[in-house]
């Protein structure tokens, strides 16, 4: 059974205030709109709190008429309640209007913030080093990103539509009660709110552990599922569908158990909150009823206090779930904040200049490299590829050949030494300008789930259809295109699954032909081709490489016998250098590899 993907632990070291500070630039880009929305919020809450005051006035006015509506003051009885009733209706209308205006104004802020954060995260992921992407689990990242970007919208919604309105309402209600009624009434309200807040905060922090568990196992399950689908063919090769399902099922089982604990603790918290609110409101209404009986306050005051309690405790009861949701959203958002704080391992130096290529001379000067200091990969590599030359690097598996390609592209920086192009250290040039002048045919070609045309044109997005088709023909893709009903518009499937290994490699070659770079790297470029296909495109490769400086990482020695120079590597060290004939005569490692490959060929 495979080990579980490494997941982020509980967010014990997160700083919510700092994270909210990092969130603020996404919001305050629309500062004027946010300010107007907040004004609408305050006006809506002011209108809402004034509604019970109008209701008190109506009841007290009607209560003065103990002899019925008809009296000597008929005109006064009719006019006063009618004015209050109209004010009551106007306030309810204003509350709804300003609330909707707040929602409309803030909707653009919310969606724009989500949009910008998602773009920033993707852009940052592309900046991070190859090492980061090799160590992370794709499924886990995708789920973390989904939760993180959605949590941004959740935080904004909770702050603007729940927390701030509730605080504003509480202050307004508290002010009315404090300045108009007995201190005992206010004390009862404050005690009720205090007990409620303490219970909510303490139990919510305890419940967060279960939420962290749910997130961890959710990411683990999603990572396993995506990993197994990405490796669909491997799963089939070894008949391990049941194993992958069991792995997925195991993580979902842990996730479900954590979810049950979350629900049990939620029910306990809800009951505790409900009990505190019920006891508090009952006590407050008993105090108010006693004051009515003693004549200290009117029936209208009793109705006002009851209405204010409803206005206060209904959003306060929601505030418990709002606090939990805010904690969950902040925890999810912390994943993305930490991701954005990851510093790219490979960065342009200060004042890096564009790489200027006139000839295409490529030099390795005492280049050493290690992923880990205890395991050196390359040691003191020295060789030069003159402009227009074709130099091949060969050697047994694990000798460090493909690492050279990654260093040229600056997926990693050298541990020691220099790599130069036309005398310029690539470490001193911008990565964008470096990669613009280099083309590559990789050993493992991964394609976008799009058309053949799109995948070829990806090398030069402004290329004409004629140029794309010409590149495909030169890479010997003509026969494939003629067999496909949709031709160049054929969708290749995820990672190019609908194409054979050889077809994918020919497509990669057509990309390089279209890009027409000054320096070309072939990393085992014909390793997935049969002998017939290999011979068919070697001529095209020769035409392309004849116009550029070419480095060929080769396994099949038969494909590089025409190289101007062959560099033989073993255990990260250059052991031989020369052309094909010279190396055969030297009777060294190259000769042994040549004899071995010839003996393996069918007679």
In a domain, 502, yes or no: yes
Q: Give the HSE-up count for residue 174: Cα atoms under 13 Å, Cβ half-sphere.
A: 13
Question: What DSSP string describes 70-87?
Answer: -STTHHHHHHHHHHHHHH
> Tens digits of per-residue pLDDT, 139-172?
666 766 676 678 888 888 888 877 888 888 878 8
Residues 180 and 300 in one domain: yes
- Among candidate residues 341, 367, 383, the one where a domain is terminated: 341
- Among candidate residues 309, 341, 373, the one where a domain is terminated: 341
> Tens digits of per-residue pLDDT, 385-436?
999 899 999 988 888 888 999 999 998 999 999 999 999 999 999 999 999 9
Mean pLDDT for the stretch of residues 207-232: 81
What is the phi/psi pair of residue 566, to 5°?
-120, 125
Is 270 strand, coil or helix?
Answer: helix
What is the phi/psi pair of residue 104, to 5°?
-65, -45
Angle between helices 299-341 and 16-28 (to 10 degrees): 90
Q: How confident is the model at residue 343 (pLDDT cuts 50, 70, 90)?
A: confident
Q: How confident is the model at residue 537 (pLDDT cuts 50, 70, 90)?
A: low
Q: Please count the structural domains in the chain.
A: 2
Burial of 548 (0-12, 13-18, 19+ CB in 10 A): buried
Q: With beta carbons less than 8 A apart as the criterion, state whether 564 and 543 touch.
A: no
Report the mean per-residue pLDDT for the chain.
81
Contacts of 1 (CB under 8 A, 6+ apart): 243, 246, 247
Q: Is the pLDDT of residue 75 over 70?
A: no
Residues 449 and 316 in one domain: no
Contacts of 243 (CB under 8 A, 6+ apart): 1
- The arrangement of strands across the sheet holding 416-421 comes to 375-385, 362-372, 416-421, 424-425
Classify strands 416-421 and 424-425 as parallel, antiparallel or unpaired. antiparallel
CA gap 95, 421 in Å, rounded: 69
In a domain, 558, yes or no: no
> Tens digits of per-residue pLDDT, 448-469?
888 989 999 988 888 899 999 9
Structure tokens belonging to residue 562: 């025409």
Q: How confident is the model at residue 13 (pLDDT cuts 50, 70, 90)?
A: low
Structure tokens belonging to residue 208: 């967060």
Q: How far is CA 483 from CA 324, 409, 486, 523, in A?
A: 59, 36, 9, 28
Classify strands 549-553 and 519-523 as parallel, antiparallel or unpaired. parallel
Q: What is the pLDDT of residue 66?
A: 43
Per DSSP, helices labelled H in 181-298 are: 183-230, 232-237, 241-293
- Among candidate residues 495, 516, 537, the one where a domain is terminated: 516
Q: How confident is the model at residue 10 (pLDDT cuts 50, 70, 90)?
A: very low
Q: How confident is the model at residue 71 (pLDDT cuts 50, 70, 90)?
A: very low
Q: Is the pLDDT of residue 68 over 70?
A: no
CA gap 154, 322 in Å, rounded: 10
Q: Which residues of 18-39 are buried (b: 16+ CB within 10 A; e: fewer)?
A: ebeeebeebbeebeebbeebbe
530/451: higher pLDDT:
451
Mean pLDDT for the stretch of residues 171-188: 79
Q: What is the pLDDT of residue 533?
A: 62
Residues 461 and 327 in one domain: no
In a domain, 373, yes or no: no
CA gap 599, 603 in Å, rounded: 9
Q: With beta carbons less than 8 A apart as the criterion, state whether 385 and 396 touch.
A: no
Contacts of 599 (CB under 8 A, 6+ apart): none
Q: What is the pLDDT of residue 72?
A: 47
In a domain, 451, yes or no: yes
CA gap 246, 241 in Å, rounded: 9
**pTM of the entire predicted model:** 0.70
Classify strands 362-372 and 519-523 as parallel, antiparallel or unpaired. unpaired
In a domain, 390, yes or no: no
Mean pLDDT for the stretch of residues 72-92: 67
Q: Which helix (H) or strand (E) holds 540?
A: helix 531-545
Mean pLDDT for the stretch of residues 474-481: 83
What is the phi/psi pair of residue 114, to 5°?
-60, -45
Taking phi first (over 0 means left), then psi (-120 to 50 degrees means alpha), and beta for anything else, what does residue 571 get? left
Angle between helices 241-293 and 299-341 (to 10 degrees): 150
Q: With beta carbons less than 8 A apart as the criterion, state whether 77 and 65 touch.
A: yes
> Tens digits of per-residue pLDDT, 57-67?
777 776 665 44
DSSP collapsed to 3 states, 10-76: CCCCCCHHHHHHHHHHHHHCCHHHHHHHHHHHHHHHHHHHHHHHHHHHHHHHHHCCCCCCCCCCHHH
Residues 122 and 240 in one domain: yes
Q: Give the HSE-up count for residue 506: Cα atoms under 13 Å, Cβ half-sphere.
A: 26
In a domain, 369, yes or no: no
CA gap 435, 515 in Å, rounded: 11
> Tens digits of per-residue pLDDT, 275-334?
888 888 888 888 888 877 887 878 888 888 878 877 777 776 666 677 767 877 887 788
**Highest mean pLDDT of the ranges 107-116, 325-334, 415-424, 500-509:** 415-424
Is 461 strand, coil or helix?
Answer: coil
Q: Is the pLDDT of residue 89 over 80?
A: yes
Classify strands 375-385 and 362-372 as parallel, antiparallel or unpaired. antiparallel
Q: What is the pLDDT of residue 535?
A: 66
Residues 148 and 31 in one domain: yes
Which CATH number goes with the domain that contains 448? Answer: 3.40.50.300
Residues 456 and 325 in one domain: no
Q: With beta carbons less than 8 A apart as the criterion, state whether 521 and 405 touch.
A: yes
Q: What is the pLDDT of residue 382?
A: 94
In the chain, how long is the greatest CA-to-CA distance?
131
In a domain, 327, yes or no: yes
Angle between helices 31-63 and 74-127 (to 10 degrees): 160
Q: Give the HSE-up count for residue 121: Cα atoms under 13 Å, Cβ half-sphere.
A: 25
Residues 174 and 33 in one domain: yes
Q: What is the pLDDT of residue 317?
A: 66
Q: Shortest CA distance to 305 belongs to which of 324, 281, 332?
A: 281
Mean pLDDT for the stretch of residues 359-378: 90
Q: How confident is the model at residue 368 (pLDDT cuts 50, 70, 90)?
A: very high
Could you tell me the residue range of the domain that residue 492 belongs to? 444-516
The residues that bridge with 438 in the sheet, in sequence order, are 519
Which CATH number goes with the domain that contains 56? Answer: 1.20.1560.10
- The arrangement of strands across the sheet holding 565-570 comes to 438-441, 519-523, 549-553, 390-394, 565-570, 573-578
Q: What is the pLDDT of residue 464?
A: 92
Q: Shortest CA distance to 58 belongs to which of 83, 93, 91, 94?
A: 83
Residues 309 and 449 in one domain: no
> Tens digits of per-residue pLDDT, 28-42?
787 788 888 888 888
> Tens digits of per-residue pLDDT, 568-603?
999 999 999 999 999 998 888 999 999 988 886 654
CA gap 566, 583 in Å, rounded: 8
In a domain, 492, yes or no: yes
């Amino acid at each position: 059974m495979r080990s579980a993907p490494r997941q982020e632990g509980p967010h014990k070291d997160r700083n919510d205030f700092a994270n909210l500070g990092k969130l603020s630039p996404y919001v305050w880009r629309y500062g004027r709109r946010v300010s107007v929305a907040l004004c609408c919020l305050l006006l809506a809450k002011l209108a809402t709190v004034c509604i019970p005051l109008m209701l008190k006035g109506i009841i007290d006015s009607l209560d003065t008429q103990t002899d019925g509506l008809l009296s000597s003051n008929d005109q006064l009885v009719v006019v006063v309640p009618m004015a209050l009733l109209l004010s009551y209706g106007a306030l309810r209308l204003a509350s709804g209007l300003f609330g909707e205006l707040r929602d409309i104004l803030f909707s653009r802020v919310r969606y724009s913030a989500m949009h910008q954060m998602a773009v920033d995260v993707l852009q940052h992921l592309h900046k991070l080093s190859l090492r980061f992407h090799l160590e992370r689990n794709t499924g886990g990242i995708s789920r973390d990103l989904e939760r993180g970007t959605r949590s941004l919208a959740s935080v904004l919604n909770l702050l603007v539509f729940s927390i701030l309105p509730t605080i504003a309402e509480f202050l307004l209600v508290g002010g009315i009660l404090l300045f108009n009624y007995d201190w005992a009434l206010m004390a009862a309200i404050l005690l009720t709110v205090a007990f409620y807040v303490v219970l909510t905060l303490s139990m919510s922090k305890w419940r967060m552990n279960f939420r962290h568990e749910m997130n961890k196992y959710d990411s683990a399950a999603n990572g396993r599922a995506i990993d197994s689908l990405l490796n669909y063919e491997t799963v089939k090769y070894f008949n391990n569908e049941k194993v992958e399902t069991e792995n997925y099922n195991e993580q979902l089982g842990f996730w479900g158990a954590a979810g049950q604990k979350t629900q049990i603790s939620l029910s306990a918290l809800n009951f505790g909150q409900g009990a505190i609110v019920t006891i508090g409101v009952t006590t407050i209404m008993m105090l108010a009823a006693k004051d009515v009986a003693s004549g200290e306050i009117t029936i209208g005051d009793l109705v006002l206090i009851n209405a204010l309690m409803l206005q206060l405790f209904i959003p306060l009861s929601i505030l418990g779930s709002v606090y939990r949701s805010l904690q969950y959203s902040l925890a999810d958002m912390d994943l993305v904040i930490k991701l954005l704080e990851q510093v790219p391992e490979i960065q342009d130096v200060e004042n890096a200049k564009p790489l200027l290529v006139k000839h295409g001379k490529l030099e390795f000067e005492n280049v050493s490299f290690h992923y880990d200091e205890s395991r050196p990969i390359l040691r003191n590599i020295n060789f030069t590829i003159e402009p227009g030359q074709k130099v091949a690097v060969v050697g047994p598996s694990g000798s460090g050949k493909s690492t050279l390609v990654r260093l040229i592209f600056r997926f990693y920086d050298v541990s020691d030494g220099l790599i130069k192009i036309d005398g310029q250290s690539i470490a001193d040039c911008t990565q964008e300008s470096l990669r613009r002048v280099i083309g590559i045919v990789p050993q493992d070609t991964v394609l976008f789930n799009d058309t053949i045309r799109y995948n070829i044109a990806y090398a030069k997005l402004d290329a004409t259809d004629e140029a794309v088709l010409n590149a495909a023909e030169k890479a010997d893709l003509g026969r494939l295109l003629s067999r496909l009903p949709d031709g160049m518009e054929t969708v290749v499937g995820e990672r190019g699954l609908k194409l054979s290994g050889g077809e994918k490699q020919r497509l990669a070659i057509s990309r390089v032909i279209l890009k027409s770079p000054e320096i070309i790297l072939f990393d085992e470029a014909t390793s997935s081709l049969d002998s017939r296909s290999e011979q068919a495109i070697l001529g095209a490769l020769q035409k392309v490489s004849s116009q550029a400086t070419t480095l060929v990482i080769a396994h099949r020695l038969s494909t590089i016998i025409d190289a101007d120079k062959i560099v033989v590597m073993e255990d990260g060290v250059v052991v031989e250098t020369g052309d094909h004939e010279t190396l055969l005569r030297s009777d060294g490692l190259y000769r042994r590899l040549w004899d071995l490959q010839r003996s393996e060929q069918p007679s």
